[in-house]
Amino acid sequence: MLETILSLAIGMIVVALFLNVYRLIAGPSMPDRILALDTLYINSIAILILLGIYLESTLYFEAALLIAVMGFVGTVALSKYLLRGDIIE
Amino acid sequence: MFEIIIALLVANGAFFTLVGSIGLVKLPDFFTRLHGPTKATTLGVGSILVASSSFFFVAKDEISLHEVLITLFLFITAPISAHLMAKAAIHLKQNESTTQAKSYEK
Amino acid sequence: MKKFKTILPHPLLSIALVFVWLLLNNTTSTGHMILGMILAILIPWFTSAFWPEEVCMKHPLLFLKFVGIVLYDILIANITVSKLILGPNKNLKPAFFDLPLDIKHPLGISLLASTISLTPGTVSCDLSEDKTNLVIHGLSIEDIDQAINEIKTRYEKPLMEVFKPC
């Protein structure tokens, strides 16, 4: 039962990832694209964790943690770029 | 029994994640779009992480606390990135309106 | 007491660092505890230039109660926001409004802004230069005064109690 729910959940998150990619490509302004990228990495954390449960492996947590840290840094750097025109002052 | 709870948490998490992304596509302008990911997605991923933590605790008898760390990190960083993106959007909007005003003056 | 302050400039930060280090390595072995404690002394010492003022928390129990309220609100907020997102766009009443701040402590302000971003249909967007006004965007605001009142009584008051200037 858990396996069917897990495959279903992974399917739902794949749909969510496609929606994010749509906003990333279509997004009329730059902040929209940054927001889409931010959501994309949070959703990819979710799919990695679900894959970890599915395969009963704890190996994926390091990857998820790294994506969380690097994604946050990327979002902050891009927003700073829009605010100031450069990243490092 | 535990399987049902974990399945419910996973389904709940996937649903909220999907709703957040639907909001990202469907809502009309940037500031309303900001609401979907910052809330729905954070709770969605949060409950998936809780499910994973309890799954490894129950099924494999090992305590895995990396999920707690990821959840904490997400809950701390989500508002900060939302704040910065909103600030950038306001800044761009103001720039646009001032340049437009200037071009009208000319 | 003064010696204690030079070795551990931020006791709360040090405790948090040991905790995070143990979570990161997923163990409670003695070696990692000692390594974590060494890091917890060294990191605040090296970064003390970034933290000029000390943070003191009063009423830790009140803070725990505040965290509980916020977690409950996040749960409720998600259900309402999901309903708003899945409903038709016409029902939304997006609005910007200013929240005049009474709280002065910088950490308190940042915590308040974070809780506002995580709870019912509101995102904090900007802080005015003199730190007296917080610009907030609401997804569906019926009555601006009521929204301001709710934030003030529910989140700002307990935070003001917890973070008083030392």
Is residue B36 in some structural domain? yes
Residues of C in contact with B87 (CB under 8 A): 125-126
CA distances from A13 to A20, A51, A63, C45 (A): 10, 11, 18, 43
Per DSSP, the three-state class of C100 is strand
Q: What is the dihedral of CA B76, B80, B82, B86, to 10 degrees?
A: 170
C100-121 mean pLDDT:
80
For residue A21, the model assigns a pLDDT of 92
| Residue C67 lies in domain | 60-162
C43 and C70 in a single domain? The answer is: no
For residue A11, the model assigns a pLDDT of 92
Q: B45 and A65: CB-CB below 8 Å?
A: no
- The rounded mean pLDDT for chain C is 79
Return the partners of chain A (3 or more C-beta pairs < 8 Å): B
Is residue B21 in some structural domain? yes
Per DSSP, the three-state class of A11 is helix
Residues of A in contact with B87 (CB under 8 A): 79, 83
B52-81 mean pLDDT:
83
pLDDT digits (tens, 9 = 90+) for A24-63: 998 788 888 888 998 998 899 889 988 988 888 878 888 8
C136-157 mean pLDDT:
80
Residues C56 and C9: their CA atoms lie apart, in Å, by 11
Is residue B94 in some structural domain? no
C66 and C147 in a single domain? The answer is: yes
Structure tokens at C138: 């609401």
pLDDT-above-70 percentage for chain B? 92
| Residue B51 lies in domain | 2-79
H helix intervals, chain A: 2-26, 30-55, 60-84
CB-CB: which of B40, B69, B86 is closest to C123?
B86
C84-91 mean pLDDT:
80
Most B CBs within 10 A among A18, A25, A53, hence the mutation to make, goes to A53
Residues C141 and C148: their CA atoms lie apart, in Å, by 10
Residue C41 dihedral angles phi and psi, to the nearest 5° = -85, -40
Is residue B10 in some structural domain? yes
pLDDT-above-90 percentage for chain B? 0
**What is chain C's length?**
166
Residues B54 and B48: their CA atoms lie apart, in Å, by 10
A64-89 mean pLDDT:
83
Cβ within 8 Å of B, A 21-80? 22-23, 29-32, 34-36, 38-39, 42-43, 45-46, 49-50, 52-53, 56, 58, 61-62, 64-65, 68-69, 72, 75-76, 79-80
Is residue A89 in some structural domain? no
Q: Domain tally for chain B?
A: 1
Q: State which H helix or E strand residue C138 sits in.
A: strand C133-138
Say if residue C133's pLDDT is above 70.
Answer: yes
Residues A5 and B7: their CA atoms lie apart, in Å, by 6
C85 and C44 in a single domain? The answer is: no
Is residue B44 in some structural domain? yes
Residue B76 dihedral angles phi and psi, to the nearest 5° = -80, -40
| Residue A69 lies in domain | 2-84
C81 and C28 in a single domain? The answer is: no
C115 and C42 in a single domain? The answer is: no
Band of pLDDT at residue C116, cut at 50, 70 and 90: confident
Residue C163 dihedral angles phi and psi, to the nearest 5° = -105, 85
Q: Domain tally for chain C?
A: 2
For residue A14, the model assigns a pLDDT of 93
Q: Count of CB atoms within 10 A of residue C50's CB?
A: 7
Residues of B in contact with C99 (CB under 8 A): none
Say if residue B62's pLDDT is above 80.
Answer: no
CB-CB: which of C26, C115, C126 is closest to B90?
C126
Is residue A61 in some structural domain? yes
C89 and C134 in a single domain? The answer is: yes
Taking the CA of residue B77 and the nearest CA in chain C, the distance in Å comes to: 9
pLDDT digits (tens, 9 = 90+) for C27-61: 778 888 888 888 888 887 777 777 666 666 677 78
Per DSSP, the three-state class of C89 is helix
Most A CBs within 10 A among B10, B39, B62, hence the mutation to make, goes to B10
Most confident of A48-62, C80-94, C148-162: A48-62
Query: What is the torsional sign of CA B40, B45, B48, B49?
Result: negative
Is residue B25 in some structural domain? yes
Q: Count of CB atoms within 10 A of residue C157's CB?
A: 14
Q: A38 and B56: CB-CB below 8 Å?
A: no
pLDDT digits (tens, 9 = 90+) for A6-21: 899 999 999 999 999 9
H helix intervals, chain C: 2-7, 11-25, 30-46, 60-86, 106-118, 144-151, 157-162
Is residue A74 in some structural domain? yes
For residue A88, the model assigns a pLDDT of 59
C74 and C127 in a single domain? The answer is: yes
**Angle, CA of B83, B88 and B90, to the nearest 5°:** 95
CA distances from C152 to A22, C93, C100 (A): 38, 21, 9
Is residue B104 in some structural domain? no
Q: Domain tally for chain A?
A: 1
C65 and C110 in a single domain? The answer is: yes
DSSP state for residue C140 in the 8-state scheme: B
Is residue A77 in some structural domain? yes
Contact C123, B82 (CB under 8 A): yes
Please report how many Cα atoms fall inside a 13 Å half-sphere around the Cα of residue B12, on the Cβ side. 18
